[in-house]
Amino acid sequence: MTDTVPDRAEITAALSAQWDELTRLVDGLDETAWRTPSALPGWTVFDVIAHVIGVESLLLGEPTPEVEVSGEHIRNDVGALNEKWIAALRPLTGVQLLERFREITGRRLKALAETGPEVWAEPVPTPVGMAPYGRFMRIRLFDCWMHGLDIADGLGVNTDEGGPRAENAFPELLPAIGKAVVKGAGAPDGASVTIETTGPVRHTVHVAVAGGRAAVVENLDAPATVALSLPSGLFARLRGGRTGADAHPGEYAITGDTELGERLVRSLAFTL
């Protein structure tokens, strides 16, 4: 799932569509709406778009602005780097920011169109370590897809949470799921977990625990110790730390070891 190189045309098309969706979500907002708090601590809707601009600008080789930043939501060097771009862009109006967003993403799409297959497959530094450039672009899609949810939730509007954008972004929610099962939920050796997302992205993942480690497996030899079923949008928001299980009673179902399941649904959050 993570070792193969994603299809370049498919990921590029999904990125383009996701950037179009981000544009749709904010186009026409007045200045007050642009400054609406998002689901992310310390960031408004404006800041989320500014963050995407910052990352894509870095990928175009533009230098990071030299500005002082601070805030409780800045937890590491990457967070500080992100915040520098946001701080530098905050004086713009929303209309100006959207114009900058369109210009930057247009340049990025041109660059991606000119990226050859050898470069697409070349290992590069990514938030998950060295990985093919194509995987990095899938991570970029995932990041932008999650931020679409952040903006929609902040504004109280709908965004299409299924389709090719979501299907291509969704795999980035899964590689570290074993850590949530063992370290987060405390699943013992011999335990097994099935997580099923019911839609709009339908996916089933099985995890088996042995030797104090959890591994994603194709199938289980016996019924899972615990099975968790929930909508894909809720799974994404829980994995992204945007919300907690206690805010969604009745929106997920647990069968089998309910105590383990309740610990698991409260241990899903991770960050890339």
Amino acid 4: pLDDT: 81
How far is the C-alpha of 215 from the C-alpha of 95, rounded, in Å? 47
* pTM, full prediction: 0.93
Dihedral sign computed on CA atoms, order 36, 266, 200, 9: positive
Peptide bond into 200 cis (omega under 30): yes
Task: Share the mean pLDDT of the chain.
Answer: 94
What is the CATH class of 174-266?
alpha beta
Amino acid 1: pLDDT: 42
Q: Domain map of the chain by residue range?
A: 8-172, 174-266
pLDDT in tens, 21-62: 999 999 999 999 999 999 898 999 999 999 999 999 999 999
Q: Can you tell me whether residue 270 is helix, strand or coil?
A: coil
Low-confidence ranges of the chain (pLDDT < 70): 1-3, 71-72, 74-79, 272
Amino acid 2: pLDDT: 46
* CATH code of the domain occupying 8-172: 1.20.120.450
Amino acid 67: pLDDT: 75
pLDDT in tens, 135-155: 999 999 999 999 999 999 999
Q: What is the amino acid identity at position 223?
A: P
